[in-house]
Amino acid sequence: MLSVDKTQDVDSTISLISIVILGMVNIAILYVAPVLIGAMVEVLEFSEAQAGYVISAELLGMLLATFPALYYINRINWRKGIFIALTLMIFGGLFSASIETFQALFISRFLFGLAAGFSMAICLSIIGLTSDPDRTFGYWVTGQLVMGALGLFILPTLFPIWGFGFVYILTIPLIIILMFMLRFLPNHGRSVASNKANNHQPLLVWAIAGLLSIFVYYVGQYGVWAYIDRIGSAIGLAPNDIGEALSLATIIGIGGSLGAAILSTRYGRLLPISIGVIVSILSMTILLDDFNAFQFLVAACVFNFTFNFILPYLMACVAAVDLTGKLIILTSVSSSAGLATGPALAALVQDAMNFDMVIIIGISLTALCFLLVVKLALNKTSPER
């Protein structure tokens, strides 16, 4: 067994800060996708489809990077792997900022996504090795939500001044700072995971069910969220009312992930997930009846709060039974696949039926997610590190 020195204390405050920042720089751009798509259309004169393809290219790169990461995760020095990925991300950001053609930007963001996805895979493995992954995932999601909210608020005012390309270099200073913080992350997972193996046996079937629950959760929840603007519009709400409700819901969502981090496993995982699922379903049922602007505001805020509250627990359920650091990487595949499937399924259902059916599917899949993860959630504590 490899020795564990102080620089490999994944539970130290500085290590947790490094993990949160790493998550922020890996997927920061995707959290401001709505603003980026608008800017590409207005500033670069891309079509709406082309702008969407650029965002999808980055997400596809991150998804594909997961598979080589699964092979190399226990064969490389993690710090060096992250350093190389971050270096490529810096060059990718600089190159993306200097080009304005669709083909070149598509390729650039795909390559950037490959580097970011590989770095993200290592980050997820590190989170899985912390003594309290529920808390760590909560802070990890919170960091991304805060950065996304700031981006959505600030970027629209800066594009007319600095142009489009600057957005791709905004995270470079943060990446450079992170490079100096890599020494607070472990070199490898085996030295920590071996302690884990002494106290816990892999539960592969449970873990697969957990991964499937994350996929199902994203399909149902994100399908509703993608069309929640249209749901409000269909009932006759004013655009301003809808915009204000969704802006507040985005901020409230930060409280959800932060709440999961603070609560952690104080009451286990099953109880928080159960309450979150029930409240989430209740928020969606509001949208099935005739509702006014205030009810829409409440439903949107509660929905987004519970979405971000439940998610860290789902990911921690998988981490708790993962001895290799590989299963937790697959949560990235589950979430990415769910993000892509949810809006597409909702679009098909809405076109063939109506928005009520989109909501009913969201409710059904949220309930199915709970059934799939309940066995893992009963695993009250993570194995001792």
pLDDT digits 0-9 by tens, 123-169: 988 988 888 888 999 999 898 888 888 887 788 788 888 888 888 88
Tell which wins on pLDDT, 307 or 163. Answer: 307
Following DSSP, what letter does each residue of 79-136 receive, concatenated? HHHHHHHHHHHHHHHHHHHT---HHHHHHHHHHHHHHHHHHHHHHHHHHHTSS-HHHH
The 3-state DSSP class for residue 46 equals coil
pLDDT given at position 277: 97
The pLDDT value recorded for residue 190 is: 52
pLDDT tens digit sequence for 261-306:
999 889 899 999 999 999 999 999 999 988 899 999 999 999 999 9
Those residues whose C-beta lies under 8 Å from the C-beta of residue 68, and which sit 6 or more positions away, are 118
**Please, what is the average pLDDT of the chain?**
85
Element (H, E) at 251: helix 239-263
Q: How many Cα atoms occupy the beta-carbon half-sphere of 34 within 13 Å?
A: 9
What value does the mean pLDDT take over residues 369-377? 92
**Letter for the amino acid at 269?**
R
DSSP state, residue 200: -
Tokens 């600095």 belong to which residue? 162
Is the dihedral angle over the CA atoms 18, 23, 24, 29 positive or is it negative?
A: positive
Token digits of residue 48: 């709406």
Q: Mean pLDDT, to the nearest integer, of 177-190?
A: 86
Q: What is the pTM of this model?
A: 0.83
Return the structure tokens found at 274. Answer: 């159960």
| Domains recognised in the chain with CATH numbers | 6-195 (1.20.1250.20), 199-377 (1.20.1250.20)
Task: List CB contacts of 153: < 8 A, sequence separation 6 or more.
Answer: none
Residues 37 and 52: their CA atoms lie apart, in Å, by 6
Q: What is the sign, positive or negative, of the torsion defined by CA atoms of 150, 152, 157, 160?
A: positive
Query: Are 159 and 39 spatial neighbours (Cβ–Cβ below 8 Å)?
Result: yes
The tokens for 362 are 């969201």
Reported confidence tier of residue 193, pLDDT bands at 50, 70, 90: very low
Cβ(335)–Cβ(341) below 8 Å? no
pLDDT above 70 (res 327): yes
